[in-house]
Chains A and B, each alone.
Chain A
Amino acid sequence: MVFLFAALAVLPYLLSYSQQEIAVLLVINVLLVSSYRLLTLTGEWSLGHVVIMGVGAYASALLAKRLGVPVPLSMLLGASMAAATAALLSFPLFRMKGFYFLIGSFAAGEIIRLIWKRFTDPFGGPKGLKRIDPFPDIDAGFLSIDFYEPVNYYFLALIIVSASLFVLHRIERSRIGLTFHAIHWQDRLAESVGVDTFRYRTLAFVIASFFAGLAGGLYAHYVGAVNPTRFSVDQMVYVLVWAVVGGTATFYGPILGVVVLTVINEIVLRALGLDTARPLIYGAILILSVLYLPDGLESLGPRLRARWQRWRGGPAAARGEAA
Chain B
Amino acid sequence: MDLLWQTAVNATYAASYMALIAVGLVMIFGVMGVINFAHGELYMVGAYCVVFLYAQENFPFLLAVAAGLVFVGMVGLVMERTMFRPLRNNPLGGLIASIGFLLILQTLAVFGFGRRMGHVPPSTQGKLEIFGAILTYQRLFVIVAAVLLLAALWTFLRRSKFGRALRACAQDAEAASLQGISMNQTARIAMFIGAALAGVAGALTAPLVSPTPYIGHSIIVTAFIIIIVGGVGSLEGAVIAAVLYAFVHTFVTTFFDGVIANIVGLALMLAVLVVRPTGLFGAKERA
Are A and B a genuine interacting pair, yes or no? yes
- Contact between chains at A294 and B103 (CB < 8 Å): no
A280-B103, A283-B102, A283-B104 known; A290-B97 Cβ under 8 A:
yes
For the complex, count residues of A whose C-beta is within 8 A of B: 38
- Contact between chains at A114 and B263 (CB < 8 Å): yes
Contact of A108 among B100, B260, B270 (CB under 8 A): B270
A115-B263, A294-B90 known; A103-B273 Cβ under 8 A:
yes
Q: Chain B's nearest CB lies how many Å from the CB of A270?
A: 16
A233-B217, A294-B90 known; A287-B101 Cβ under 8 A:
yes
Name which of B58-66, B107-115, B185-193 contacts chain A.
B107-115
B267 within 8 A of A: yes
Residue of B nearest to A111 (CB): B266
B163 within 8 A of A: no
Contact of B270 among A111, A241, A283, A287 (CB under 8 A): A111
The distance in angstroms between the C-alpha atoms of A241 and B102, with both chains bound, is: 13
Name which of A11-19, A77-85, A92-100, A161-169 contacts chain B.
A92-100
B191-231 interface with A by 8 A CB criterion: 217, 221, 224-225, 228
The distance in angstroms between the C-alpha atoms of A282 and B92, with both chains bound, is: 18
- Contact between chains at A104 and B270 (CB < 8 Å): yes
The distance in angstroms between the C-alpha atoms of A244 and B93, with both chains bound, is: 9
B269 within 8 A of A: yes
Residue of A nearest to B110 (CB): A276
The distance in angstroms between the C-alpha atoms of A107 and B277, with both chains bound, is: 14
A96 partner residues in chain B, CB cutoff 8 A: 273-274, 277
A284 within 8 A of B: yes
- Contact between chains at A95 and B104 (CB < 8 Å): no
- Contact between chains at B86 and A286 (CB < 8 Å): no
B75 within 8 A of A: no
The distance in angstroms between the C-alpha atoms of A286 and B101, with both chains bound, is: 9
For the complex, count residues of B whose C-beta is within 8 A of A: 41
B35 partner residues in chain A, CB cutoff 8 A: 99
Q: Chain A's nearest CB lies how many Å from the CB of B176?
A: 22
Residue of A nearest to B213 (CB): A279
The distance in angstroms between the C-alpha atoms of A276 and B103, with both chains bound, is: 11
- B contacts with A: majority SS: helix
B36 within 8 A of A: no
- Contact between chains at A290 and B260 (CB < 8 Å): no
- Contact between chains at B259 and A276 (CB < 8 Å): no
A155 within 8 A of B: no
B62-102 interface with A by 8 A CB criterion: 82-83, 86-87, 90-93, 95-97, 99-102
B95 partner residues in chain A, CB cutoff 8 A: 102
A45 within 8 A of B: yes
A277 partner residues in chain B, CB cutoff 8 A: 107, 111
B10 within 8 A of A: no
Q: Chain B's nearest CB lies how many Å from the CB of A105?
A: 10
- Contact between chains at A290 and B101 (CB < 8 Å): no
- Contact between chains at B266 and A107 (CB < 8 Å): yes
A114-B263, A233-B217 known; A99-B107 Cβ under 8 A:
no
B238-287 interface with A by 8 A CB criterion: 257, 259-260, 262-263, 266-267, 269-270, 273-274, 277
A51-108 interface with B by 8 A CB criterion: 92, 95-96, 99-100, 102-104, 106-108
The distance in angstroms between the C-alpha atoms of A110 and B225, with both chains bound, is: 12
B87 partner residues in chain A, CB cutoff 8 A: 290-291
What 0/1 readout, one digit per residue, does chain A (144-183) give for beta carbons within 8 Å of chain B? Answer: 0000000000000000000000000000000000000000
From A107, A282, A285, residue with most partner B Cβ within 10 Å: A107
The distance in angstroms between the C-alpha atoms of A66 and B90, with both chains bound, is: 48
A114-B266, A290-B96, A291-B83 known; A107-B273 Cβ under 8 A:
yes
- Contact between chains at A118 and B107 (CB < 8 Å): no
- Contact between chains at B259 and A118 (CB < 8 Å): yes
Residue of B nearest to A110 (CB): B266
B-to-A contact residues, CB < 8 Å: 35, 82-83, 86-87, 90-93, 95-97, 99-104, 106-108, 110-111, 217, 221, 224-225, 228, 232, 257, 259-260, 262-263, 266-267, 269-270, 273-274, 277
Q: List 30 A-B contacts (CB under 8 A).
A: A92-B274, A96-B274, A96-B277, A99-B91, A103-B224, A103-B228, A107-B224, A107-B269, A110-B221, A110-B266, A114-B259, A117-B259, A118-B257, A240-B96, A241-B99, A277-B111, A280-B103, A280-B104, A282-B100, A283-B99, A283-B102, A283-B104, A285-B100, A286-B100, A287-B97, A287-B100, A287-B101, A290-B87, A290-B97, A294-B90
Top 4 A-B residue pairs of the complex, sorted by shortest distance between their CB atoms: A283-B103, A286-B100, A280-B107, A287-B100
Given A107-B266, A107-B270, A280-B107, 10 extra CB contacts under 8 A: A95-B273, A96-B273, A106-B224, A107-B269, A110-B221, A111-B270, A241-B99, A277-B107, A290-B83, A291-B86
A-to-B contact residues, CB < 8 Å: 45, 92, 95-96, 99-100, 102-104, 106-108, 110-111, 114-115, 117-118, 233-234, 237, 240-241, 244, 276-280, 282-287, 290-291, 294
